[in-house]
């Protein structure tokens, strides 16, 4: 998709969430992206404070690669988790 398409898609999702007043739902909707970002934040904080690493490598998908998982296995599992999170997010829209 490239930078232009992904930025436009992200902006559209953000605008829609603000319009329907469900901004916090984006954390659930983009759970994979939140997990990837948090893995980097935790890794850096842990290394600076204790000198030890939590993951073999951050972001999280690189940790799984170093564990021996195939790239396609990681990608498909992240797709599945992302689809489940999207369904949960859509399900919460009806719970007003």
pLDDT at 13 > cutoff 80: yes
In this prediction the pTM is: 0.79
**Cβ neighbours for 63, distance < 8 A, ≥ 6 positions apart:** 39, 55, 56, 57
Residue boundaries of the structural domains of the chain: 24-93
* DSSP per position, 14-59: HHHHHHTT-TTHHHHHTHHHHHHHHHHHHHHHHHHHHS--SSSSSS
pLDDT, tens digit, 9 for 90 and up, residues 27-81? 898 899 999 999 999 999 999 999 999 999 989 999 999 999 999 999 999 999 9
């Amino acid at each position: 998709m490239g930078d232009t398409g992904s930025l436009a898609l992200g902006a559209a999702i953000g605008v829609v969430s603000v319009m329907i007043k469900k901004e916090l739902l984006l954390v659930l909707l983009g759970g994979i992206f939140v997990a990837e970002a948090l893995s980097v934040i935790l890794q850096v904080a842990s290394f600076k404070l204790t000198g030890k690493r939590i993951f073999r490598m951050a972001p999280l998908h690189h940790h799984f690669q170093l564990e021996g998982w195939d790239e396609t296995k990681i990608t498909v599992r992240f797709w599945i988790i992302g689809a489940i999170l999207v369904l949960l997010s859509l399900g919460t829209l009806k719970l007003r």
